Structure 1
Amino acid sequence: MDPSDANTLRRMAGLATPMALRVAVTLGLPDRLLDDAATADRLAEELDVSPVALDLLLGHLATLGVVERTSAGYRTTEFGAHLCAGADGGFTNLLLRLDSAAGRAELAFVELAHSIATGQAAYPRRYGRDFWADLAEQPHLRETFDRQMTLRFHEQIPQIVAGFDWSRFTTIVDVGGGPGTLLAAILTAHPRLRGHLVDVTADARRTLRHLDDRAEVTVRSFFDPLPAGADAYLLSDILHNWDDEHAHRILARCAEAARPAGRVLVIEPVGGRAGTDMDLAMLVIHGGRERRVDEFRELAAPHGLVLDTVTDLTGQRCLLEFASAG
């Protein structure tokens, strides 16, 4: 083997760098050192951590170009500033924090071998309960997850709203819509449209309150019966969070509520178009995956749903529209 190839593979496989970045962000180092350089001893006293160990961490961050050594101590570089809480709306910072839902979830990758052997999520193996139960038990995790979803969709929402003819409908149920950011944008763009959001938390009431009587929120699981009779039932980034068994249950509820003429709209990354790393993330965290178009078609068929159209909304997400076969 070419020595350079071996070195490249070792760097790719190494855990030191990704964990160093996550610990740095969790400790708040990029923000702390942005405008005020400090020594490892001073920082260690502020953070109540080992000064020797912290100096080792900062030394590695310096080799990565995240911080630099100055006469006054370590300081965040222009490159490292991308890790600050205010950069890109805080999205990267939130994803890397070990005390956030996303940062905690990614640690389940250490159990990837279990997922590959069984096809099941690794998250419960690491934490003793599944991702959603963990969020329910720890409100701060739920808050960071909802914030992550809002930030992730922030730049894509205008494309999602503009890329599909929502005006065809008069009523839409957002199934598992979380904080309600997407539904609020759709209703704002279409004043004649009414919306109903169903989720296990009531957080969306704050987001939708400015829409007067055009928006309603029901605190309920999407495994329970859904409000019936709407023109469309929207599942945005929902099915890839679940294995086939649970995805069937969700689609069954949507099909049940949508009959006879309602549509089921699925917005998700589609397998083969999304990054392969997301396939593994969905497997490890949820036991799910980014399904291909044919897999969506097969998943929907037992529930009397036929795939009508596939619309590219963004570089990451498609909208699959299903109609009743009856």
Structure 2
Amino acid sequence: MPPKRTANGDAKKAESKSPPRIGQTGRLILELLTTSEEYTDKYAGLTALVFSEDAKASVEAEDFPVQVLVYDPKDEPALVKAMEAVDTCLLIPPARKDKAKITATLLKAAKKAKSVTNLVFLSSAGCDYAERDKQPRLREFIDLEKLAMESKSDPNTGDTGHSPCIIRELLLYTKQAQGEGKLPIPIDEDHKFSPVALGDVAQVAAHVITSVGPQGLADEVRGQMMVLTGPMLVAGPELAQAASQALGTPMEFQSITVQQAKKILASDQGEEVDDAEKEYLLEYYSLVREGKTAYVSNTAFQAIFGSRGQEMPDFFKAYQSEFKPKKRRVAH
């Protein structure tokens, strides 16, 4: 559950505008929208897109007030109908090899529906620094952003995408590489980046998709390219220090090679990660090694919520179950 935030100076809603009908929300954002008093009265309906019947059952088991749709690329009428039921779409490319094809299919359905005025796309910070031959999975997000923005200039799609916003985030990916008292990351101890907590990304996304302005989204977010990083640059040893402080147990940064990282991702610790996502993670850290992530960009978060966002010790506290060292089982 993301930390509770209070937005500063929410934009005044135009009297002629009703609360948005939101579709294609992610799991964490869905939880935030349906449980936080900050957002529960700011939308008229929710639709969640999932990729399996098991995922649908999982969402429905939470008893969220939401309509759940299982993605079926062969059932275009169902996708178009789902888009016709919403005016605000949060597109989050899935961590799958076919993310580009899925995104294109959903955008095609939105164009046919002609009802999705507000189109918010969750992208990746650093994709503009990625090189197509060296970091193709990262660079792919540039192509996806282009797809998301195309409808705004296409008169044949009605008001689809008329009110857009792109959010680029720089997350901390260490969950898949958890070791015993170590944070093994394929960067050197002097390489720095400014990872943002997933809960903070969810807060910004929720604020954007529930905002209302005279042309769709609130004026302060409409047409924006929001780049979200954490509040400060950190190197591997500083991450380990923050983790030790938060978890109450010694944690040590371990600089590993790309080959070692591949072995970790190929082990049980990476079994739930799609192969394309594994490639993405390795490319992500290659940007860190190249110094292309050595910047801080959380102005948008401060403008909305009046704070720097979640600090590293707070991040490790919030996700301590995923980072605490695992004890080995001793055979008796």
TM-score by length of 1: 0.35
Structure possessing the higher radius of gyration over alpha carbons: 1
- Structure number with the bigger relative contact order (C-alpha 8 A, sep ≥ 6) is 2
Q: Would you tell me which structure has more helix in proportion to its own residues?
A: 1
TM-score by length of 2: 0.35
